[in-house]
């Protein structure tokens, strides 16, 4: 499939409730709004189907997971993608046998499911207790040939890892997307609560891979169990030089759009030489956890 020269991207920022039907209807309305404005690829936030239940560890929340086949809303968005002629990377809580995954299906503009990605990097900390719920992803990183270019998508915690972005670019991604759910930390956490650091990490991927990057976050205050967190929004799109070309604040809701010039990005990427000058034969330490390469 040939890569188009330009693509109009939308990243959706939205609040969610504890009602599946309410969230899905709101997400659909935002997708329709984005498509009406000309968007061709539309990214919804991570796990938009419910409150971010990973704030706490509760057995009851495993009931929110469903198999990909016969899923309660994937089919609805397949029909929507087909109707509007848009590409929809779609986050959901997957149950597969006895395993549970933080997953994403990529829906092409004809409604076909191009494949399933299971989140690779799983966080574990106060307010983000994902290791309790999710098995580590076993699909490897994914890039999909869509009607509107080769789309690479990581999920939330994946966005902090340069390895995720680099692998997707090596697999031929034209641009990188990250659905996410991130905001305040519980009071006892010493790490900073800053959307700036979150953005800078992904903008770094844009710079070092000469690629457009888009991130969709949720907004609003959510109480789950005995914890309350506020999600800080700041969904954004960066161009292939690292310039922040579109950004929401903490409260805006809806689609954020920008035209991606993929032809110019490819030209710039080749000229920068980052991929020409790589030395993969010297990167063995990246395949270890402690930096020591063992032989034999």
Catalytic residues: 46, 119, 156
Closest of 190, 184, 248 to residue 215, by C-alpha: 248
Cα 102 from Cα 122, distance rounded (Å) = 9
3-state secondary structure of 237: strand
Residue 229, C-beta contacts closer than 8 angstroms, at least 6 positions apart: 52, 55, 127, 183, 184, 185, 186, 221, 222
At which residue do the structure tokens 């991606």 appear?
Answer: 260
Structure tokens, 164: 């995720």
The upper half-sphere exposure of residue 229, i.e. CA atoms within 13 Å in the direction of its Cβ, equals 28
- The pairing of strands 149-153 and 227-232 is unpaired
3-state secondary structure of 146: strand
Structure tokens, 61: 């929340």
Sign of CA dihedral 275, 276, 279, 284: positive
Cα 107 from Cα 88, distance rounded (Å) = 5
DSSP letter at 191 equals: S
Kindly compute the dihedral angle of the four CA atoms of residues 169, 96, 62, 178, in this order, to the nearest 10 degrees. 10
């Amino acid at each position: 499939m040939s890569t188009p020269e330009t693509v109009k991207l939308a990243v959706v920022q939205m609040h969610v409730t504890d009602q599946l039907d309410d969230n899905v209807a709101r997400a659909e309305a935002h997708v329709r709004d984005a498509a009406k404005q000309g968007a061709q690829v539309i990214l919804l936030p991570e796990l938009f189907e419910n409150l971010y239940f990973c704030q706490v560890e509760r057995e009851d929340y495993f009931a929110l997971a469903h198999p990909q086949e016969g899923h309660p809303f994937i089919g609805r968005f397949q029909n929507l993608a087909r109707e509007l002629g848009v590409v929809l990377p779609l986050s959901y809580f997957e149950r597969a046998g006895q395993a549970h995954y933080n997953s994403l299906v990529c829906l092409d503009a004809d409604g076909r499911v191009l494949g399933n990605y299971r989140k690779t990097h799983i966080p574990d900390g106060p307010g983000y207790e994902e290791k309790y719920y999710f098995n580590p992803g076993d699909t490897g990183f994914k890039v999909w040939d869509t009607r509107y270019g080769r789309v690479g998508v990581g999920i939330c915690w994946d966005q902090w890892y340069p390895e995720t972005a680099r692998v997707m670019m090596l697999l031929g991604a034209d641009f990188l997307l990250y659905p996410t759910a991130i905001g305040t930390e519980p009071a006892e956490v010493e790490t900073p609560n800053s959307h700036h650091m979150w953005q800078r990490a992904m903008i770094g991927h844009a710079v070092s891979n000469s690629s457009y990057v888009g991130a969709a976050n949720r907004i609003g205050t959510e109480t789950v169990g005995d914890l309350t967190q506020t999600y800080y929004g700041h969904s954004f799109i960066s161009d292939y030089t690292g310039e922040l070309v579109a950004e929401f604040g903490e409260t805006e809701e809806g689609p954020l759009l920008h035209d991606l010039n993929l032809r110019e990005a490819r030209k710039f990427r080749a000229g920068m030489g980052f991929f020409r000058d790589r030395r993969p034969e010297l990167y063995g330490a990246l395949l270890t956890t402690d930096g020591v390469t063992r032989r034999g």
